[in-house]
Amino acid sequence: MMKKTPLALAVMAISLWAQSAIAVKNDDALVVTANRTQQPVSSVLAPIDIITRDDIDRWQAKTLTDALRRLPGVDVSQSGGMGQLNTLYVRGTEARHTLVLIDGIPLAKPGITGIADYNQIPLSLVQRIEFIRGARSAVYGADAIGGVINIITQAEQPVSQLQVGVGSNHYQQYDGALRQALGKDTLVTVAGGFQDTKGFNVQPQSTYAVDNDRDGFRNKTFWAGIDHRFNEAISGFVRGYGYDNKSMYDAGYPNVVDLQQIYNHTWESGLAFNQGNYASQLTLSLQKYKDYNYVSTQGRYHSGTTLDDMEQRNLQWSNSYRIGQGMISAGIDRQEQRLVSRDDYASDRYKRTNTGYYLTGQQLFNDVTLEAALRGDDNNQFGWNTTWQAAAAWEFIPNYHATLSYATAFEAPTLGQMYGQQRLYITASPDLDAEKSKQWEIGLEGLTGPVDWRLSAYQNKIDNLIDYSADDTGVGRYYNVQAATIRGVEWTGSFDTGIFSHRITFGYLDARRDSDNEVLARRSKQQFKYQLDWTMFGLDMDVAWQYYGKSYNNNTNQYASEQRRMPSYSLVDLSASYPLTSHLTVRGRIANLFDKDYETVYGYPTAGREYYLSGIYSF
């Protein structure tokens, strides 16, 4: 394909952005993830959900996975308890097909699979989550095939608090945050946290004696930042955060790596200008991510230790200009990645740069809203990728409208997939192509009596899926071979009855690879999620019921001739909180209330019933 310049891209794009007048939801909350500029959640044409810090505290989630699995279209596959490897599938797409952002910046993923490990992101950092379902590569570039999860670490209100918690499996938690306003223009935040659990035996049926132990997890987190408004038009921020995680896992053999230690350090700085019809923001970030794996009984500096050492630099410049009731929005993203992957015998070094140019738009014409986006990504490894999306919504009667959208998206191969990894006996595949998808979605939403609801039907066709195979000597390589088609129907609704708030999600999914019509592994065919909240006599209660239908543990390949069927399961979580004083609140939670025995990965049972108790003091 002939390479396009940014000027040619701009000439080809016709995209207007404006705040839509569609107001099916009476919700004035502002979101930034849909089109990378602030807009009311009621104006977003794609399905979107928001998790606030209040939600996290009310649910008493202990991990990011705990919170995300409540969302529509999310299926979680976890190999054990807290800190163990887990993957998340959004609307049936691969785990690597969901873009994870932290404060709008892509999360560095050093592993060869390109999958974000949600268990390694401390929940104490999270103040808000914005989750948009469907393709968003035309806005963000690579990885946004299934959706985008934007984890926001900044709290806007100057409220300080301390939290102490204990729970099952020797769980303990200590968190603290100091948010102090200095005058009317400056907010200073310092926060830290400690989380530890001895865990449980994640493979009790293993025949290896070395696996007959608890697999624990420990996390230490620190966050600091300054936000300052220089005048009515200009504001800026500087912040840094980091965490140190230790996760025990089963190796299968003695004196083999069984402990993972991750160090993440991130520094960010930005300036924003907003005056009249024009707004602009420039953000710089540096992420350093070290992933050690070593033998726990011998220590990190003994032979056998492996290390993935990654550095990722991001520059983002976004601009928007309001014209009457419309707005044109455009920006540039620049990303540089460096990775060193080594052990005692081999070392691989990689470097990649990507520059993306994007335009997004939304405009209201009477009862019709049109939305469009166009993006080009210039990657020094696999060249130029153009993605686009378009959507239309029609409010055919007050408080009811229909939407139709189409989008293209792509997933970039990881550095290790393209250039191999000697320590894992993986050879290079420099001609590996990006995975590409074409998606359409039709939706109907409205406000019927007290019920605010949305019905969506979608189809996602993904080509050039990346697969792996190894020869008889154990040497493997990645290659493009498969295609898959994913179809689904999703219904979400929320309503209040007296003091009770209800949130319901139904989902049906048919995800198959095209070559043999085989169902893709670890995707439940049916989902039902119900959340009930109420407050009585000062006591806040939350009950969550989640049902996941039957699935398969694996797909057939050179290592498995048959698929293993996984049974359906359902979970009930119960949490309660009560303010003892205006500053002190006591909270309690029972996870897996009925002690359901289930697995999401064959051979890895889950924790069973768990109890948690915590106290939060705000000042």
DSSP letters, 576-603, are EEEESSSSEEEEEEEESTT----EEETT
pLDDT attached to residue 40: 87
Q: Which of 468, 445, 463 minimizes the C-alpha distance to 455?
A: 445
pLDDT attached to residue 16: 30
Cα–Cα distance measured from residue 447 to residue 457, given in angstroms and rounded to the nearest whole number: 19
Q: Which of 614, 615, 612, 606 minimizes the C-alpha distance to 65?
A: 606
Residue 546 in this model has a pLDDT that exceeds 80: yes
Residue 154 in this model has a pLDDT that exceeds 50: yes
Tell me the residue type at 423.
R
- 466 is an annotated ligand-binding site residue: no
- 112 is an annotated ligand-binding site residue: yes
- 215 is an annotated ligand-binding site residue: yes
pLDDT attached to residue 409: 97
pLDDT attached to residue 27: 55
- 464 is an annotated ligand-binding site residue: no
- 179 is an annotated ligand-binding site residue: no
pLDDT tens for 458-497 read: 999 999 999 888 888 889 999 998 899 999 999 999 999 9
Residue 371 in this model has a pLDDT that exceeds 80: yes
Cα–Cα distance measured from residue 571 to residue 217, given in angstroms and rounded to the nearest whole number: 23
- 213 is an annotated ligand-binding site residue: yes
**Residue 577, CA distances (Å) to 60, 165, 325, 538 in order:** 9, 13, 45, 9
pLDDT attached to residue 589: 98
Lowest-pLDDT range of 12-26, 157-171, 192-206, 384-398: 12-26
Confidence at 220, pLDDT banded by 50, 70, 90? very high
- % pLDDT > 90, the chain: 72
- 454 is an annotated ligand-binding site residue: no
Residue 122 in this model has a pLDDT that exceeds 90: no
- 372 is an annotated ligand-binding site residue: no
- Residues 350-368, mean pLDDT to the nearest whole number: 93
- 113 is an annotated ligand-binding site residue: yes
pLDDT tens for 70-85 read: 999 999 998 888 888 8
pLDDT tens for 18-28 read: 333 233 344 56
- Residues 570-587, mean pLDDT to the nearest whole number: 97
Residue 1 in this model has a pLDDT that exceeds 70: no
What's the CATH code, domain 30-618?
2.40.170.20
- Residues 91-107, mean pLDDT to the nearest whole number: 93
Lowest-pLDDT range of 92-96, 121-125, 257-261, 352-356: 121-125
Q: What angle do CA 417, 418, 422 make, to 5 degrees?
A: 65
Lowest-pLDDT range of 44-48, 154-158, 270-274, 561-565: 154-158
Higher pLDDT, 52 or 327: 52
Confidence at 170, pLDDT banded by 50, 70, 90? very high
- 58 is an annotated ligand-binding site residue: no
- 142 is an annotated ligand-binding site residue: no
pLDDT attached to residue 8: 38
Contact 541, 535 (CB under 8 A): yes
Q: What phi and psi, each to the nearest 5 degrees, are found at residue 18?
A: -155, 155
Residue 355 neighbours by CB distance under 10 Å: 17
CA torsion sign for 296, 300, 302, 308 is positive
Cα–Cα distance measured from residue 566 to residue 331, given in angstroms and rounded to the nearest whole number: 45
pLDDT attached to residue 618: 92
Which sequence spans correspond to the domains of the chain? 30-618
CA torsion sign for 470, 471, 475, 476 is negative
Confidence at 133, pLDDT banded by 50, 70, 90? very high
- 201 is an annotated ligand-binding site residue: yes
Higher pLDDT, 213 or 270: 270
pLDDT attached to residue 21: 29
Beta bridge partners of 460: 439, 486
- Residues 225-243, mean pLDDT to the nearest whole number: 95
| Run of H or E including 258 | none
- Residues 232-253, mean pLDDT to the nearest whole number: 92
Confidence at 15, pLDDT banded by 50, 70, 90? very low
Confidence at 237, pLDDT banded by 50, 70, 90? very high
Residue 216 in this model has a pLDDT that exceeds 70: yes
Q: Which of 94, 99, 113 minimizes the C-alpha distance to 148?
A: 99
Cα–Cα distance measured from residue 26 to residue 365, given in angstroms and rounded to the nearest whole number: 21
Task: Tell me the three state secondary structure of residue 96.
Answer: helix
Q: Which of 435, 433, 441 minimizes the C-alpha distance to 460?
A: 441
Helices (H), 50-198: 53-59, 64-68, 137-140
Residue 17 in this model has a pLDDT that exceeds 50: no
pTM to 2 decimals? 0.92
What is the average pLDDT score of the chain?
A: 90
Residue 6 in this model has a pLDDT that exceeds 70: no
Most confidently predicted of 73-82, 111-120, 398-407: 398-407
- 485 is an annotated ligand-binding site residue: no
Total number of residues shown for the chain: 619
- % pLDDT > 70, the chain: 95
Tell me the residue type at 21.
A
